[in-house]
Amino acid sequence: MSITIKDEAGIAAMRQACRLASEVLDELTPHIRPGITTLDIDRLCADIMRRQGTKSATIGYQPAGYPPYPGHVCTSVNQVVCHGIPNDKPLKKGDIVNVDVTVIKDGWFGDNSRMFEIGECSIAARRLNALTYEAMWLGIQQVRPGARLGDIGHAIQKFAEGHRLSVVREFCGHGIGQKFHEDPQVLHYGKPGTGEELRPGMIFTIEPMINLGRREIKELQDGWTIVTKDRSLSAQWEHTVLVTPTGYEVLTLSAGSPPPPAFITAAAPASA
């Protein structure tokens, strides 16, 4: 495993890229209402990126074996777990949608996602969104020098499964910096005390995908869209996190970010 430890200049560049990625979602939020399409969301995000001087990391992105991704952002609605492609179908009351934004600023990548509720949603959908958000933060709370990647995954898995939800295992968080995806892989399940040891200067995403039903998934014919096999709702939240000498710093926080849960006493920087 080849993990890139960021120096002070790299950390400063990542702070900027990640803040800008979060500000895309800040500016998008007032537009999220019934009747908007995910293609509208994509166009709005593309316009925000142009104005702030960033580029989308996803449009044209093509890992080996995949077709080029066609959107500036990923928009995953209801039973879509991740990598939903923007389209012209209007969102309706009761839908939930994840908008996943990754920007490039001066060669550095900032990555985050949020869930949005379209109008009045069911109790089950609101509960799934809220618990997934808390699960992400419980994972973040484990981050400190000397901790292990397995500590993050275990905290998320124990919490989610304790609430009778399931954790998707085929997709994970990842290192990030001057590349979109770097080592390490950050699993959202696991055993405490296992995996890579965390060191100051490591930067990675924590982005649990949690399902209301079973954890099994399938890929649609477009080569990108991942859905729950049982068609149950799925939610995801994502932050990019820096390991500091005393704990962690959440890099993808901005003025409009949802507040951390009450059990988080300090979000950035923090001693965990």
* Domains of the chain, each with CATH number or no CATH: 8-271 (3.90.230.10)
Provide φ and ψ at 124, rounded to 5°: -65, -40
CB of 167 within 8 A of CB of 156?
yes
Q: What's residue 265's pLDDT?
A: 74
β strands within the chain, DSSP E: 55-56, 74-77, 80-82, 96-105, 108-117, 166-167, 173-175, 182-186, 203-206, 209-211, 217-219, 226-228, 234-236, 239-243, 247-250, 270-271
**Does residue 229 have a pLDDT over 70?**
yes
Q: Which of 96, 40, 105 has its CA nearest to residue 73?
A: 40
**Does residue 267 have a pLDDT over 90?**
no
Q: What percent of the chain has pLDDT over 90?
A: 96
> What pTM value is reported for the model?
0.95
Q: What's residue 251's pLDDT?
A: 98
Provide the pLDDT confidence category of residue 266 given band limits of 50, 70 and 90.
low
Provide φ and ψ at 253, rounded to 5°: -110, 140
pLDDT digits (tens, 9 = 90+) for 164-193: 999 999 999 999 999 999 999 999 999 999
pLDDT digits (tens, 9 = 90+) for 33-54: 999 999 999 999 999 999 999 9
Q: How many CB atoms lie within 10 A of CB 213?
A: 16
Torsion of CA 156, 95, 73, 171, to 10 degrees: 30
CB of 168 within 8 A of CB of 209?
yes
Tell me what the mean pLDDT of segment 247-257 comes to.
97
Average pLDDT along the chain: 96
**Does residue 272 have a pLDDT over 90?**
no
Pairing of strands 247-250, 270-271: antiparallel
**Does residue 271 have a pLDDT over 70?**
no
Tell me what the mean pLDDT of segment 66-95 comes to.
98
